[in-house]
């Protein structure tokens, strides 16, 4: 199925809308001490898709991040990759062969690959699991999912991870229409709150590294308020200082602060890569919430994304439905007002090379404390 698997320079990663598969993201991770590698591979349409008229070759690539577990052992992590998404019948076999091809390129004591798949969940269009508005009624059992993805594989070795790292549910906004149309597609309350923020004098500006302390204070306040994982400030320094313009897969970073009379009320990170604007991090003050600063931020991010030629905007992380007990329900309630279509992905899947070490690792894994970028 796969041919010509070769390592290549990180700077040569292909341009993509998936931030976590860009050279930019590798630079960010390197700044915080993580190693990564880029690999090319080839396949043919007939080995990945049904009803192929032209069986031409496909060249694709992926970014792999190496995470050291202890002094000797490591795991390979593929954030939101591979981007190439075969038809469902071929997905498991494709991942199996890709994993076996990657094995020789990985460190000697790398005992597993974890794919954080952004492929659409196979049950996302099944009325037994998802309603007509895209809300998940229930997910198939883990056993059922593993049987489905391992279909046609030789080793039956793909295992659903115990936790997902990156969000598996998001909202994509179509930016191809005019701003007036985009605004009209929003819920009335969201449009009202955007206008209210303007009337109350909320100003959104593009900030820089000198204002990072503002972000981190708001970020810590938000994380503690919601019981979320807190990243070190060095992670955000890395995002703001990563230079990728000379690579083939760059990304533009916009650190936005919403304020009134120079008092910061909310902030966010917008990343523009390929044809997509992605909202990766947001934070807000517990004070003066009636100023609707978070609405002003999102509207500005949408306008910037469209001005930069993006055709879609990724809201990055919501609950899969309207279940108010879900930890991301608050984000769903806020983000769904901006319009867009719900998207459900497959999440994290593991391919172990050493099953004994893998089982020990699963036992040691702590419950994820909230979605954060890897």
Nearest to 240 by CA among 215, 205, 276, 266: 215
Low-confidence residues in the chain, pLDDT < 50: 368-373
Looking at residue 78, what is its pLDDT? 98
Range of the domain at 29: 3-167+345-364
62-104: pLDDT as tens digits: 999 999 999 999 999 999 999 999 999 999 999 999 999 999 9
8 A C-beta contact, residue 285 and residue 223: no
Q: For residue 373, is it within any domain?
A: no
8 A C-beta contact, residue 312 and residue 276: yes
Does residue 312 share a domain with residue 189? yes
Number of domains in the chain: 2
Does residue 130 share a domain with residue 263? no
Nearest to 63 by CA among 205, 247, 312: 247
Q: For residue 319, is it within any domain?
A: yes
Distance, in Å, from the CA atom of 329 to the CA atom of 323, rounded to the nearest integer, reads: 7
Does residue 123 share a domain with residue 62? yes
Q: For residue 157, is it within any domain?
A: yes
Does residue 176 share a domain with residue 112? no
Looking at residue 372, what is its pLDDT? 44
**H/E segment holding residue 238:** helix 233-241
Looking at residue 369, what is its pLDDT? 42
8 A C-beta contact, residue 159 and residue 146: yes
Does residue 76 share a domain with residue 120? yes
Q: For residue 58, is it within any domain?
A: yes
Looking at residue 2, what is its pLDDT? 82
Does residue 237 share a domain with residue 129? no
333-367: pLDDT as tens digits: 999 999 999 999 999 999 999 999 999 999 888 65
Does residue 221 share a domain with residue 186? yes
- Strand 341-352, strand 252-260: pairing: unpaired
Q: What is the dihedral of CA 17, 327, 319, 203, to 10 degrees?
A: -60
Can you spell out the DSSP letters for 100-118? HHHGGGS-TTEEEEEEEEE
């Amino acid at each position: 199925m796969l041919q010509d698997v070769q390592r290549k320079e990180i700077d040569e990663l292909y341009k993509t809308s998936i931030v976590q598969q860009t050279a930019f993201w590798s630079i960010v991770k390197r700044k915080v001490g993580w190693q990564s590698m880029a690999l090319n591979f080839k396949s043919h349409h007939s080995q990945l898709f049904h009803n192929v008229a032209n069986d031409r070759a496909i060249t694709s690539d992926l970014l792999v991040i190496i995470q050291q577990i202890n002094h000797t052992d490591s795991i390979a992590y593929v954030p939101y990759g591979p981007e190439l998404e075969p038809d469902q019948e071929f997905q498991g076999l494709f991942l199996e062969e890709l994993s076996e091809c990657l094995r020789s390129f990985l460190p000697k004591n790398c005992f597993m690959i974890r794919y954080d798949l952004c492929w659409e969940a196979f049950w996302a269009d099944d009325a037994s699991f998802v309603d007509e508005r895209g809300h998940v009624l229930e997910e198939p059992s883990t056993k059922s999912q593993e049987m489905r993805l391992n279909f046609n594989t030789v080793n039956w070795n793909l295992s659903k991870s115990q936790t997902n790292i990156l969000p598996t549910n998001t909202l994509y906004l179509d930016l191809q229409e005019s701003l007036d149309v985009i605004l009209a597609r929003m819920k009335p309350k969201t449009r009202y709150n955007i206008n209210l923020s303007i009337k109350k004098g909320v100003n959104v500006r593009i900030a820089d590294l000198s204002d990072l302390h503002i972000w981190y204070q708001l970020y810590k306040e938000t994380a503690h308020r919601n019981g979320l994982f807190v990243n070190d400030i060095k992670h955000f320094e890395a995002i703001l200082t990563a230079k990728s313009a000379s690579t083939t897969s760059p990304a533009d970073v916009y650190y936005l602060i919403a304020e009134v009379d120079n008092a910061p009320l909310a902030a966010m990170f917008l990343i523009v890569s390929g044809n997509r604007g992605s909202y990766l991090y947001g934070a807000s003050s517990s004070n003066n919430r009636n100023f609707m600063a978070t609405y002003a931020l999102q509207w500005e991010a949408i306008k910037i994304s469209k001005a930069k030629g993006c055709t879609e905007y990724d809201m990055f992380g919501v609950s899969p439905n309207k279940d108010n007990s879900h930890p991301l329900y608050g984000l769903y309630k806020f983000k769904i007002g901006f319009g867009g279509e719900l998207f459900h992905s497959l999440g994290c899947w593991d391919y172990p090379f050493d099953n004994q070490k893998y089982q020990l690792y699963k036992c040691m894994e702590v419950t994820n404390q909230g979605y954060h970028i890897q």
